[in-house]
Chains A and B, each alone.
Chain A
Amino acid sequence: MEAELDKVAVGSGASLPREETPGTRASERAHAIAGAGFTALIVALGVALVAATMLAVSVGAVRIPVSAMLAAMTGRGALTDTQHTILFVIRLPRVLASSLVGGALAVSGLMFQGLFRNPMADPYIIGASGGAALGACIGILFLSQISIFGFSATALLAFVGSVATMAIVYSLARTRGRTSGVTLLLAGFAVGTMLTNSTYLFELFDPNSTAETRLVAAWLHGTIGIPEWKQLAVVFCLFLISMGMAYPLMRRLNTLALGDDYAHQLGIRVEATRVFVILTASLLTAIAVSLGGLISFAGLIIPHVARLLLGPDNVRMLPVTALAGAIFLVVADTFARTLLAPSELPVGILMVFLGGPFFLYLLRNGKREYTL
């Protein structure tokens, strides 16, 4: 069957000239962005993130003009006390939190997609989010007073839940020292759905809807809260640590694309690499879930778009997905809190409406990616 497709070479010997086919010339690239364009893209995304952050903090019930902020930053003016409070106590922490959530979800999605060799994987589908959600719910409802290093029990339990879920999923999918990607995906989906839905039981058992249950409900729909600066600093450090862990794993994920056997042949320790990828991606999921609850699609869509532009090289995808995910969530969360002001739309729900159609559009137009 493959031989039938062979309409390129007409000659039998290597010395015979070949027919020019699309893409045979070196100037023609398979992916839109290559070489120097990559650096330009990173710079552009960095600038866009700063711009999106400034715009996001300027809009709201009280408008703070960007020009006023720029003047204050350069020392040519000053913000009023009210503006200062709104900016540093309410808006900036929330916008920074949403950029962290977006970056973490996107990179986590990228890692899960690489690990499962499947463009459909993301922390939500694979169960990591479900585990984090259950852990965080327990934290919100029962242990809300406890905090360690400025870290609420919620955040810690989110991480424990996410890693524990992945450990369970992983051991379920492992037979005789080998792990099947498809089994892993299916096991993750089943366990994750069970965990996510079990969190709804908490609502059921608590009929007099307290502030905590309302918080849990909002949070299951995906709402980015207003974190304390201390919490933000710790989460940012964790984000940097997980990015540092992710970087060397990216090249290994490229090699794993050749399959377990080939990667092993090339000297990769396949199982150890998998465990590190799962740990790092679970940490990133927990970061996102602890700040913003359950937000679907971000981890799925951002790596997709990046792959369409850049091609599937994970090393190049890493910084691009992190930045693009951050920008995407900053913008989405700004819409979520301003579209229906004064009431607020959970960003998770906005994401479903934004992400669903976009994902289907990609599915129809980017067929090349889905040839497995």
Chain B
Amino acid sequence: MTALLRLTDVSFAYAGRPVLNGVNLEVPEGSCAALIGANGAGKTTLLRLASGSLKASGGDVLLGGEKPSSIPSRQRSRMVALIPQHLEVPFDFTAQQIVEQGRTPYLGLVRGPARADRLAVERALELTDTLGLRHRIFNELSGGERQRVKIALGLAQGAPLLLLDEPTQNLDIGRQAELIDLLHRLRGEGMTILASIHDLHLIQGNFSTVHLIEPDGAVISGTAEDILTPENLTKAFHCAPGRHPLLRHNSFALGAM
């Protein structure tokens, strides 16, 4: 398997404050990986570096073997889609109008959407189970519905690599389960997924790889069993053993949750 995304010794600092430091990370084609780390550890930053909307201050980011900055922006938007945590939209755009924006990299200066674009939008709505929401106002949707429409927007972009920033945040457990189902379905469609996740109990069995951003700004990677150990979590989340139910057990017995 080839790596769709590869970060080699990447570092990044916001106005002198280092966030990521010596990050090595690989996302092979067809994989479904979770990115975890404490608040402010740099999960969003890492996803934005991967999507090319931020430029690394050191090291190499390779998207499909090329530097994101050297790929023309329209070309790049067909390779990777980043679904942000928050999408603030003014006015009363419908869900379908939002999803249609995903086709922007395929449209000309004047030429409107063609048949292929409409089909891609239909497919994105269908995959995310949002066909029934298409004519509803995006700003009036519930959190779970909005999340699925955002993913449809990312899918409409037609990129093989999907980066999701906290897709399960603020969702109730039923909507979280729906979202995980959706990620499985997307993986079945051949998508490659890298999602930052706060809800650690969702990881086991759903993500093939876990990337953990450590307090020093480096990243350790492995399977859920390897990474989600009480020692790692205690260190990464500055949380003393016994302070949180997840850390009270010797092993990470998440199957029970």
A369 to B93 alpha-carbon distance, docked (Å): 9
Residues of A within 8 A of B81 (CB): 265
Asked if residues A266 and B101 are in contact (CB atoms below 8 Å), the reply is yes
A267→B132 contact, CB < 8 A: no
Write out the residue numbers on chain A whose beta carbons fall within 8 Å of the beta carbon of B74.
267
CB pair B182 A266 closer than 8 Å: no
B110 within 8 Å of A (CB atoms): yes
B142 touches A6 (CB 8 A): yes
Residues on A with beta carbons closer than 8 Å to the beta carbon of B216: none
Q: Is B25 among interface residues, defined by CB-CB distance under 8 A?
A: no
Name which residue of chain B comes closest to A268, CB basis: B104
Checking A30, A264, A311 against B73 with a beta-carbon cut-off of 8 angstroms, the contacting residue is: A264
**Could you tell me the distance in whole angstroms from the C-beta of A261 to the nearest C-beta in chain B?**
6
B174 touches A248 (CB 8 A): no
Residue ID in chain A nearest B107 by CB atoms: A251
A74 to chain B minimum Cβ distance, whole angstroms, is 38
- Of A9, A257, A307, A313, the residue contacting B89 (CB under 8 A) is A257
B172–A6 CB distance below 8 A:
yes
A258 at the interface (CB under 8 A from B): yes
B82 nearest CB neighbor, chain A only: A265
Q: With A and B bound together, what is the CA distance between A193 and B157 in angstroms? A: 43
The chain A residue sitting closest to B132, CB to CB, is A24
A357 at the interface (CB under 8 A from B): no
Within 8 Å by CB of A248, from B84, B93, B109, B181, lies: B109
Chain A residues within an 8 Å CB radius of B129: 14
For residue A1, CB closer than 8 A to chain B, the reply is yes
How long is the Cα–Cα vector from A248 to B111 in the complex, in angstroms? 9
Nearest B residue to A263 via CB reads B104
Determine whether the beta carbon of A8 is less than 8 Å from that of B87.
no
Asked if B255 is at the interface (CB within 8 A of a chain A CB), the reply is no
Number of interface residues of B (CB under 8 A): 53
Q: Provided the pairs A30-B135, A266-B102, A266-B105 are in contact, do residues A14 and B91 lie with their beta carbons within 8 angstroms?
A: no
Query: When the two chains form the complex, which single residue of B76, B98, B170 contacts A1, counting CB atoms closer than 8 Å?
Result: B170
CB distance from A214 to the nearest CB of B (A): 42
Q: Does B144 contact A (CB under 8 A)?
A: yes
**Which A residues lie within 8 Å of B182 (CB)?**
14
In the complex, whether A259 has a CB less than 8 A from a CB of chain B is: yes
Q: A255 in the interface, Cβ–Cβ < 8 Å?
A: yes
Nearest chain-A residue to B106 (Cβ)?
Answer: A267
CB-CB under 8 A for A267 and B104, given A13-B178, A14-B178: yes
In the assembly, what is the distance between CA of A358 and CA of B151, in Å? 39
CA distance A312 to B105 in the complex (A): 21
Measured between beta carbons, the chain B residues less than 8 angstroms from A179 are none
Q: How many residues of A are in contact with the other chain, CB < 8 A?
A: 50
Contact B101 A254 (CB under 8 A): yes
Interface status of A371 (Cβ within 8 A of chain B): yes
Q: Is the CB of A12 within 8 A of B174?
A: yes
Interface of A is mostly: loop
Q: Does A23 touch B at the CB level, under 8 Å?
A: yes
Cα distance A307–B137 in the bound complex, in angstroms: 13
Chain B residues closer than 8 Å to A259, beta-carbon distance: 87-89
Cβ of B171 < 8 Å from any Cβ of A? yes
User: B91's contact among A12, A261, A369, by CB below 8 Å, is which?
Assistant: A369
State whether the Cβ of B245 lies closer than 8 Å to any Cβ in chain A: no
**In the complex, what residue of chain B is closest to A16 when comparing beta carbons?**
B178
Please indicate the chain A residues that have their CB under 8 angstroms from the CB of B92 in the complex: 30-31, 307, 311-312, 368-369
Which residues does chain A contribute within 8 Å of B87, judged by CB atoms?
258-259, 262
A30 to B53, CA, bound (A): 33
A261-289: which residues lie under 8 A (CB-CB) from chain B? 261-269
Q: Which residues of B contact A372 (CB under 8 A)?
A: 88, 90
Contacts of A24 in B (CB 8 A): 132-133, 136
Nearest-CB residue, chain B, relative to A13: B181
A312 touches B142 (CB 8 A): no
Decide if B132 touches A311 in the complex (CB within 8 Å).
no
- A255 near B135: Cβ-Cβ < 8 Å: no
What residues of A have a CB within 8 angstroms of the CB of B200 in the complex? none
Verify if A3 is at the interface (C-beta below 8 Å from B): yes
Q: A2-B170, A247-B110, A262-B84 are in contact. Are A9 and B94 (CB under 8 A)?
A: no
Give per-residue flags for A169-185: 1 if the beta carbon is below 8 A from chain B beta carbons, else 0. Answer: 00000000000000000
- A328→B102 CA distance, assembly (Å): 36
User: Distance in Å from the Cβ of B60 to the closest Cβ of chain A?
Assistant: 21
A267/B135 contact (C-beta < 8 A), A2-B142, A262-B84 known:
no
Tell whether, in the assembled complex, residue A2 and residue B143 are in contact, meaning their CB atoms are under 8 Å apart: yes
CB of A221 closer than 8 Å to a CB of B? no
The answer to whether A6 touches B181 (Cβ under 8 A) is no
Q: CA of A5 to CA of B143 in the docked complex: distance in angstroms?
A: 7
Q: Is the CB–CB distance between B90 and A9 below 8 Å? A: no
CB pair B178 A2 closer than 8 Å? no
Tell me if B146 counts as interface (CB < 8 A to partner A).
Answer: yes
- B140 contacts the other chain (CB 8 A): yes
Contacts of B143 in A (CB 8 A): 1-3, 5-6
* Known pairs A2-B142, A312-B90 / 13 extra A-B pairs, C-beta < 8 Å: A9-B144, A9-B175, A12-B174, A14-B181, A119-B91, A251-B104, A251-B112, A259-B89, A267-B74, A307-B92, A311-B97, A315-B112, A368-B92
Q: Which 10 A-B pairs have the closest CB atoms?
A: A2-B143, A312-B91, A267-B74, A6-B142, A266-B104, A117-B90, A3-B172, A24-B132, A267-B73, A267-B105
14 A–B contacts, CB within 8 A, in A order = A1-B143, A6-B142, A8-B144, A9-B174, A12-B174, A13-B177, A13-B178, A24-B136, A247-B110, A257-B89, A257-B91, A261-B84, A266-B105, A369-B92
Question: Which residues in B have some Cβ–Cβ distance to A below 8 Å?
Answer: 51, 53, 73-74, 76-77, 81-82, 84, 87-94, 97-98, 101-102, 104-105, 107, 109-110, 112, 129, 132-137, 139-140, 142-146, 153, 157, 170-172, 174-175, 177-178, 181-182, 185
